[in-house]
Amino acid sequence: MKGSVIISGAKNAVLPMMAASLLADGVTTISNVPDLRDTRTMASLIEITGAQVQLNYPEISIDASTVHTLEAPYELVKTMRASFYVLGPILGRFGKAKISLPGGCAWGPRPVDFHLKALEKMGASIKLKEGYVLAEAPRLRGSSIRFDFPSVGATGNILMAAVTASGITQIENAAMEPEIEQLCDMLNLMGGQIEGVGTSYLTIHGVKQLSPVHISVIPDRIEAGTFLIAGALLGQVSIEKTIPTHLKALLEKLHSSGTQVDVDKDSVTVSSPGQIKSVDLTTAVYPGFPTDLQAQWIACMSIAKGSS
């Protein structure tokens, strides 16, 4: 196998960015958007609120000046957990929200408990009724929040809720993924005041309102990593329009496996060594080796010399 590929926009970045567009009274345009079922599902969910969405892939526009329904129904939220991202911006801008829990009425610990506990610390009244989160807060207030785990979803939701809250919100042990970094960049471009972008400690100075923007989605590091691993296995692959620093953990492992790795400003080329060496690794949150590349790496190690 030999060739080059241009990397698509990151799905895990664009979904919270689409939700963040609900914070501004006007038309937000997002480019380099991948045409996926998940982006179409998020578009459908946003349209339910009354916002107007134009899908002209790879560009979409969202006019949130017409929002009138502050609800996300179970029928859509159940199909995509990222739908829960709309809670923060709807509550932050309009003071109330009715959002289905991703798992409906299921008993036991919920994956969104981090989100709800943090919103309560910010002054929100949270009630659970028939599988829905009923949240109210005339205006959220800043608070000090520490996550037990650096949850990407909770970090994103609280960022979007806190950006228009009164006072200062501090998030300790925040997720550091590039997708969260881009969400911070977007919110700042809209007029937000977020400090510590790219670190695990974020400080958000609440502002009264945000403005619509035009922004491009970062490249998908998981798609990029998948092609790089394939190249290490089968020949030579060059990936273009990527951000090599987002791939550091993978590139280090590929180098350790004997793969030739050539890095340029916005491209990476890998060449198979013929016989891959076995390499041990442990998946971890960013900047560690991503769990979403674990299966691909196992395939790579299945033909490696030695055990891993």
Q: Any idea which residues carry the catalytic annotation?
A: 105
| Residue found under tokens 């200062």 | 168
CA atoms within 13 A on the CB side of 276: 25
DSSP codes joined into one string, 73-100: -HHHHTT-GGGGGGHHHHHHHHSEEEEE
Q: Any idea what DSSP says for residue 108? A: S
d(CA 147, CA 131): 24
Least Cα distance to 179 among 5, 4, 9 occurs for: 9
Strands (E), the chain: 2-6, 27-31, 52-56, 59-63, 71-72, 96-100, 125-129, 132-136, 144-146, 168-172, 193-195, 201-205, 214-216, 236-240, 260-263, 267-271
User: How far apart are the C-alpha atoms of 183 and 179, rounded to whole Å?
Assistant: 6
Q: Which residues contact 162 (CB under 8 A, 6 or more apart)?
A: 92, 122, 140, 142, 169, 171, 204, 206
